[in-house]
Structure 1
């Protein structure tokens, strides 16, 4: 089934990811189904952060995937698919440089325009089902002071049709997923879009301020960085994160 078939729309939900998980538990959704809400009252991003949005302004969806024999140790492939699809769609609309901030934010310049949150169900060493939660700032224009963000409307000066953005996103997701499913390697495309790649940035490594530059992301989803002394190593979110701006 193609991604985006069917689209299940709601006026208001606590969380599209939560509803997708509930429907999965009832075996009522197929691969490629999209759960969409005009309003999300308890959306969550990475590290449990709340996801702020005005009803009807932004695109808030969750996509159900049933990958075929995806090993748990390389489940970051699904993050790559989501990030590449969003960056492709946003880049085409804003006509500017769009980057993927590890692990799963999409930036225009230095401003966040999209957050991605993925929940996988594992059985043994395999990913049986996955829920890709994607929130794109489309028509919102104001954000909390502590959030460095932007939207498609802010970047283009135009109000966007959410249904058109959704259709473009579903097509792109389906294309990237099919490429991966067919054995295509997404690593180079992801690395080319990696924010701050090859440039010095401030990190917190084991909660200690660290100057390093991103090199790549390994097959397990860990960020490979080079520190000032030349040491190159890969770290996961449990040890490494970008320092707050």
Structure 2
């Protein structure tokens, strides 16, 4: 495993994708940065981080025989790997906010952005970007954010936490058979934020509704049950959880 340490960079995902254009990368090549100037989250949202305080990295992952229709299982694997790492570090009240934010209580501590590279109908590789709030203690423009230091009352070593996450990722990516992937989906669903609790949502048309998160489909869509007992599937851009 190769680890590339960077200072200030536009984004670690962009760095790995640029590198791929000029040379091949080893499986599980990691780029880790002190600071991102153009970090992105889901749907183009920005990722704001105090330089040198947090864990900002991307991982290059190769695939062989992984069908593109299963791309959302990458979210399951990555989210659960980080969840497991944070559980080992005794971070309390952990949940996965669909599709792939990690929360402690109602507060976000980690965001994930996965970008895939296809070869026909097969998944060739992926660049997995992770931003984990580690030792930052002030979030003046992000009232719903927190960090491991605020939660645990101590500082964390970035290299040690990175190594733990990578080892969990390596272990999880060994299990990609049909039955194993289904178990991952069930485990992911069980850890969803607000699962089986009444929650408020804003749907695509701008309408606010209430319902219950019941799980995720095989395609990774969120399953929401409404008061008329109808269960609907929602994609990322079709639904926003209000909390």
TM-score interval, smaller chain: over 0.9
Per the alignment, residue 158 of structure 1 pairs with 154
Moved over 2 A (4+): 144-147, 179-183
Question: 1:35-58 CA distances to partner (integer Å, 9 max, x unpaired)?
Answer: 111111111111111111111110
Gaps of 5+ in 2: none
Give the Cα–Cα distance (whole angstroms) in 1 for the partners of residues 15 and 64 of structure 2. Answer: 23
Q: 1:167 deviation in Å? A: 0.8
Q: 1:196 deviation in Å? A: 0.8
Q: What is the aligned residue count? A: 240
Q: Which moved more, 1:14-23 or 1:172-181?
A: 172-181
Q: 1:123 deviation in Å? A: 2.5
Give the Cα–Cα distance (whole angstroms) in 2 for the partners of residues 88 and 242 of structure 1. Answer: 24
The normalised TM-score by structure 2 is 0.94
Q: What SS does structure 2 have at the residue aligned with 1:178?
A: coil
Aligned partner (choices 126, 133, 155) of residue 129 of structure 2: 133
The normalised TM-score by structure 1 is 0.93
Aligned partner (choices 4, 7, 10) of residue 8 of structure 1: 4
Q: What SS does structure 2 have at the residue aligned with 1:19?
A: helix
Q: 1:181 deviation in Å? A: 5.8
Q: 1:234 deviation in Å? A: 1.1
Q: 1:109 deviation in Å? A: 0.6
Give the Cα–Cα distance (whole angstroms) in 2 for the partners of residues 79 and 65 of structure 1. Answer: 13
Per the alignment, residue 101 of structure 1 pairs with 97
Give the Cα–Cα distance (whole angstroms) in 2 for the partners of residues 96 and 228 of structure 1. Answer: 32
Gaps of 5+ in 1: none
Question: 1:49-71 CA distances to partner (integer Å, 9 max, x unpaired)?
Answer: 11111111100010111112222
Q: 1:208 to 1:99 in 2, by over 3 A?
A: same
Per the alignment, residue 194 of structure 2 pairs with 196
Q: 1:144 deviation in Å? A: 3.1
Task: Kindly report the root-mean-square deviation, in angstroms, between the aligned alpha carbons of the 2 structures.
Answer: 1.4
Please say if residues 94 and 152 of structure 1, whose CA atoms lie closer than 8 Å, have aligned partners that are also in contact. Answer: no
